[in-house]
Amino acid sequence: MEFNFTEPQTDAERLFGGFYCINAIGRIEAGDDARFREFLIRVMPPPRLTVYINSVGGDVDAAIGIGRLIRDHWFSTSVGSYVLDHDQDRSYILPRKHITGTCASAATLVYLGGRLRYLPIGSKFGVHQFSFRNPSPDDVGRSQVLSSRIATYVQDMGVSTGFLELSSATSNAEIDTVEEEKLRALKVITGGETEAKWTVQARNYVMYVRGERDSLYGHHKVMLCYVKGTGFMFWAVIESQGRELELTSFGLVEIVVNEEDFRIDVSKRCERQVCGNYTNVLARITEEEARTIAFSESFGVQIRLCNESPMFLGISAVSTEGGREQLQTFFNTLCAT
């Protein structure tokens, strides 16, 4: 597999940021994951770029290794290739064009590594049974180990196990092209935002229900917490993406509930702190405010310069679907303590 890195081409593109991508093209050979690691060390790409894949597959172990590197580097994935359009007139921002392509067989495992995953119109996504290139009788045991590795990887990437069932239903001599609707149902395609994952956790005398989501605007967490000796708290963890100053200095901080139907102003009772790539927002809330959050359809946090500001930083309201039982049970159990 060949890897090509494109970065900003003009001063204007560097000023505005973005304009980075990686094209991963061709058959996946054994050892390509090591080559990809060396490639990333050499070009030092920024996080959040997109890796465009145009491949009909190859070595499964290498594909999993490439996919894990993509996930570790906070990249997204798409199908096809994205190149400079030399047929267009030059300007301060050079035109690019997307060329449709195919992602099939083991290449689909590379694709699953993306934190956000896209399938452009015209590109194809195909699956079949995973197998060894040159099978032998000794490969029966290896095949079982490989199947376990693939299953673990698919689960780690947040994809439905139905993806494996879909792949195993097609002979390795054929390719089944899968429609976008089915891929979305299996959580293979995410688009610009993943579904929120809700969990209940506890540490250091703090219990909380956490909703975690990735999107074009960053990796975010919203939490309804209960702190021993303090009571209910709201906690948000925002991927700063270079906006640390604004996130910690803008004057208006509001918890937004049910999209933006209801707002809780916590500007004067919240603490904001930068920790690595994230900005933490922590605010004490009343029992009634905690109830509102626990029984909501969505909640998030908006940080603005002032009331009149049309734009905000922070976390747009995260759907509580998948977490409502945890949120409501958490509140009902602790509100009487």
Per-position DSSP letters for 119-169, written without gaps between them = --TT-EEEE-----SS--TTHHHHHHHHHHHHHHHHHHTT--THHHHHHHT
Question: 189-239, pLDDT tens digit by residue?
Answer: 999 999 999 999 999 889 999 999 999 999 999 999 999 889 999 999 999
Looking at the fold, whether 264 and 295 belong to one and the same domain comes out as: yes
Q: Taking a C-beta distance cutoff of 8 angstroms, is the pair 58, 134 a contact?
A: no
The answer to whether residue 232 is domain-embedded is yes
CA-atom Rg of the chain in angstroms: 23
Give the separation between CA 207 and CA 228, rounded to whole angstroms: 9
CATH classification at residue 118:
3.90.226.10
Identify the domain boundary among 185, 215, 249: 185
| Among 185, 208, 228, residue at a domain's last position | 185
Report the C-alpha gap between 303 and 244 in whole angstroms: 12
Residue 34, in any domain of the structure: yes
296 in the same domain as 175: no
pLDDT tens digits in sequence order for the chain, 337 residues long: 999 999 998 888 888 878 899 999 999 999 999 999 999 999 999 999 999 999 999 999 999 999 999 999 999 999 999 998 877 666 788 889 999 999 999 999 999 999 999 999 999 999 988 865 555 555 556 677 888 899 999 999 999 999 999 988 888 778 899 999 999 999 999 999 999 999 999 998 899 999 999 999 999 999 999 998 899 999 999 999 989 999 999 999 999 999 989 999 999 999 999 999 999 999 999 999 999 999 999 999 999 999 988 889 999 999 999 999 999 999 999 986 5
* DSSP per-residue codes, 177-233: EPPHHHHHHTTS--TTBPPPEEEEEEETTEEEEEEEEEETTEEEEEEEEEETTTEEE
Element (H, E) at 328: helix 324-334
Structural domain range at position 72: 2-185
In this structure, is residue 90 part of a structural domain? yes
Distances (CA, A) of 194 to 179, 221, 265, 285, 292: 19, 12, 27, 28, 24
Of 185, 213, 240, the last residue of a domain is 185
Beta bridge partners of 3: 24
Between the CA of residue 226 and those of 275, 278, 316, what are the distances in Å?
Answer: 21, 22, 23
Handedness of CA 86, 89, 90, 94 (dihedral sign): negative
In a domain, 85, yes or no: yes
Helix, coil or strand: residue 284:
strand
Q: Say how many domains are in the chain.
A: 2
To the nearest 10 degrees (0 to 180), the angle between helices 60-72 and 139-156 is: 20
CA atoms within 13 A on the CB side of 15: 5
Tell whether 192 is covered by a domain. no
Pairing of strands 2-6, 21-25: antiparallel
Residue partners of 151: CB distance under 8 A and separation at least 6: 161, 164
Residues 244 and 212: beta-carbon distance below 8 Å: no
Report the DSSP beta bridge partners of residue 281.
Answer: 236, 272
Q: What is the b/e burial string over 112-146, where b = at least 16 CB atoms within 10 angstroms of the residue's CB?
A: bbbbbbbbeeebbbbbbebbeeeeeeeeeeeeeeb
Q: Rounded to 5 degrees, what angle do the CA atoms 289, 294, 297 make? A: 110
Please state, in angstroms and rounded to a whole number, the distance separating the CA atoms of residues 271 and 109. Answer: 41
